Amino acid sequence: MIHRSVLKIVSSVAFGWWLLLVSFSVAPANAQQSAPAASPTPSPITAPRDVKARVTETLIDSSIPDDPTLDQTLAAYAPKVRALDTIIGRLRGELRKGGMGAGSLGNFVTDGMRAQASAKLGKPIDLAIMNGGGLRRNSISEGELRARDIFELLPFENALVTLDLSGEQILKLLGVVVSSREAQSGVRLTYIIKADKSSQLETAMLRDEKGQEKAIDPNATYTIVTIDYLLNVGGERYSVLREGRNTKPTGITLRDAVMDYVKSETAAAREIKPRLDERFTLDRANSVLSGETPPR
């Protein structure tokens, strides 16, 4: 008899919409017929292998009966879930994720990162960057802004980290930001679209909270804020971050930083507004265009 190892993996698709149960049945390709041992001892299976898989998808909706034991466990979290409906501010206009820099949603988050890191360090932060893929909502509608909106937008436990980079390293980092279409706050830049559809940094100017601009000095030192995910897991693209000096964890998560940013703006009687302030500008004259979508 051919001995097989059966593995079962349970996984949820993004946002928990589907539950997947995958069963793998694995056996050596040239397994011999034999009687089963009383107490089979697992042994490594070498390639080539005979692998069979069966996938079962289950839609999670109201047709699934409640589990009393699970309901009892979840009851302890009900007050925390209700707290997510707390109104923390007001949004004038819709925040949307799209195009270069993750649109007005990316601007909103990186502006919050920069403001809160500056408050934490007690000095200006020159640049904030994060990956657009970390934004897990595509839009937030105009109106009351609730804690739930920020939790849904930023569900991960990414934490803010500050570090110092030279101007030369900043320019290298901005090249990555443009080519990867990531979000940033603190720089007004122009970029071009090349024939292979890739994006390339063209010019960059630092811009402070008052809108004052200055050139980036390759030999000067600048302080930036990012998330620990890009620093530690960002791969070769973000290796320049690991070249930084004075790397300091801030002790605050990205989500809490954005929440605090909204609360501070609200306390100052300022509404949150979608901002498209030319921090990303496409140089159309020098680009090879085919329907490039501008940020929204």
User: Residue 71: inside a domain, yes or no?
Assistant: no
Kindly state whether residues 234 and 271 are assigned to the same domain: yes
Residue 62 banded pLDDT, cuts 50, 70, 90:
confident
Kindly state whether residues 112 and 12 are assigned to the same domain: no
DSSP 53-104: EEEEEEE-STTSPP-HHHHHHHHTTHHHHHHTT-EEEEESS-EE--SGGGHH
User: Residue 108: inside a domain, yes or no?
Assistant: yes
Kindly state whether residues 102 and 17 are assigned to the same domain: no
User: Residue 153: inside a domain, yes or no?
Assistant: yes
User: Residue 143: inside a domain, yes or no?
Assistant: yes
Q: Give residue 160's pLDDT.
A: 98
Q: Using an 8 Å Cβ cutoff, are 164 and 120 in contact?
A: no
Kindly state whether residues 119 and 203 are assigned to the same domain: yes
Cα distances (Å, whole numbers) of residue 211 to 6, 101, 190, 245, 261: 61, 19, 16, 27, 19
Kindly state whether residues 11 and 122 are assigned to the same domain: no
CATH of the domain at 116: 3.90.780.10
Kindly state whether residues 43 and 153 are assigned to the same domain: no
What is the total count of domains within the chain?
2
What distance lies between CA 37 and its chain's CA centroid? 50
User: Residue 147: inside a domain, yes or no?
Assistant: yes
User: Residue 89: inside a domain, yes or no?
Assistant: yes
User: Residue 177: inside a domain, yes or no?
Assistant: yes
Report whether pLDDT(185) > 70: yes
* Domain assignment of residue 193, given as a range: 81-286
Q: DSSP assignment, residue 42?
A: P
CB atoms within 10 A of CB 67: 10
- Using alpha carbons, select from 213, 120, 190 the residue that is nearest to residue 162: 120
Dihedral sign from CA coordinates of 275, 188, 257, 160: positive
SS3 content of the chain, % helix, strand, coil (to 5): 30, 35, 35
Kindly state whether residues 122 and 255 are assigned to the same domain: yes
Kindly state whether residues 11 and 148 are assigned to the same domain: no
Q: What is the pLDDT of residues 71-109, one digit of tens each?
A: 999 999 999 999 999 999 999 999 999 999 999 999 999
Kindly state whether residues 114 and 157 are assigned to the same domain: yes
The pTM of the full predicted model, rounded to 2 decimals, is 0.79
Q: What is the pLDDT of residues 99-152, one digit of tens each?
A: 999 999 999 999 999 999 999 999 999 999 999 999 999 999 999 999 999 999
User: Residue 109: inside a domain, yes or no?
Assistant: yes
Kindly state whether residues 96 and 242 are assigned to the same domain: yes
Query: CA-to-CA distance for 227 and 128, rounded, in angstroms?
Result: 9
Q: Which two tokens stand for residue 64?
A: 């699934």
Q: Are strands 95-96 and 187-193 parallel, antiparallel or unpaired?
A: unpaired
- Using alpha carbons, select from 91, 87, 104 the residue that is nearest to residue 271: 91
At position 115, the amino acid (one-letter code) is A
Query: CA-to-CA distance for 265 and 170, rounded, in angstroms?
Result: 28
Kindly state whether residues 147 and 238 are assigned to the same domain: yes
Residue 296 banded pLDDT, cuts 50, 70, 90:
very low
Kindly state whether residues 88 and 54 are assigned to the same domain: no
